[in-house]
Amino acid sequence: MNQHATPRVGVDDDAASRADADGDATLRTAAVDLPDGRELAYSVCGPADGSPVVLHHGTPGSRLFAALLADAAVEAGVRLVTPDRPGYGRSSPPPDDWGWRDWPEDLTAVLRAESIDRAGLCGFSGGGPFAIAAAGSDRATRLALLSTVVPPSEEGLAGLARIPYAIRLLFPLFGAFASVSGPDTVVSQYTDRSVSEAVARAVAADFHEALGGGGGALSGGGATAVERESRSFANEAVDLDRPDLPVRAWHGTRDDNAPLAPVGEFVDERDGALTTADADHLGTLLDRGSDALRWVAAE
């Protein structure tokens, strides 16, 4: 992609992607063309002159994940950029040998399109390894991790990925069931607490948009991305070559989706800070997401 390319822009018409009537909190969807012919879609919200932060959605997830932090972004003065990783939502699937170490190059195309020289990075759950990979770039200012997975891992989806085709078969079926049963079915995979109707809709919209990648939920397009990422979490160790980069993590002591111990070890090795919360996977995001945004946007 040309460094001066202009992103193709539109406003997402999903009601769940709108935080409130404030235009700054509405998700603007855009896309850029990558040098290998793929398309990468992303959302932007928050003030146009705000501090840039790239939000990395979970596994599965999409650009609509930003709806959960859109209000917080406006309050913190953050310009929040949330890409659909390859194979999710409106982004093209990657080559077979693509992995999180290739993510920084894709992300650079987005930052150039948005005229962003440097940005804070925030990763939630399965987005954590990708945020860590991107933090190796000189474009990164700070790294915030929320309920993150730290590979190698044998927990959750990483363990399931060891069973051939299990994720690729199960996720489309669960997506179809959740489409009929409603948002609470999706929410229950991430938290046991009661959430507002708006949060439930946003979580479900993000999940269904993720699985819709590559031709709709029943086609299994997004499930292929889940399988690819989960397998990498099980088999590859994550690394960060920027010892001078400020790192901070927020993690729930009752998180059954991503274990706490590897996060503590990762942060300690990099002289970072870990804040624990009496919360589960999604609960940590809901309780501490605004704290993470304010911290990662500060320089």
Q: What is the pLDDT of residues 109-168, one digit of tens each?
A: 999 999 999 999 999 999 999 999 999 999 999 999 999 999 977 666 655 556 555 556
pLDDT tens digits, one per residue of 33-89: 999 999 999 999 999 999 999 999 999 999 999 999 999 999 999 999 999 999 999
Identify the pLDDT of residue 87: 94
Residue 12 lies in a domain: yes
Residue 292 lies in a domain: yes
Number of structural domains the chain divides into: 1
Residue 220 lies in a domain: no
CA 298 to chain centre: 20
- Asked if residue 238 lies in contact with residue 129, where contact means CB atoms within 8 angstroms, the answer is yes
- Looking up residue 269, the CATH number of its domain turns out to be 3.40.50.1820
Residue 18 lies in a domain: yes
Residue 281 lies in a domain: yes
Residue 262 lies in a domain: yes
Residue 190 lies in a domain: no
The residue among 225, 81, 67, 74 whose CA lies nearest residue 140 is: 81
Q: What is the pTM of this model?
A: 0.89
- Domain coverage including residue 17: 8-153+238-297
Residue 106's alpha-carbon distances to 20, 36, 122, in angstroms, are 30, 10, 16
The residue among 64, 15, 70 whose CA lies nearest residue 47 is: 70
Residue 289 lies in a domain: yes
Identify the pLDDT of residue 103: 96
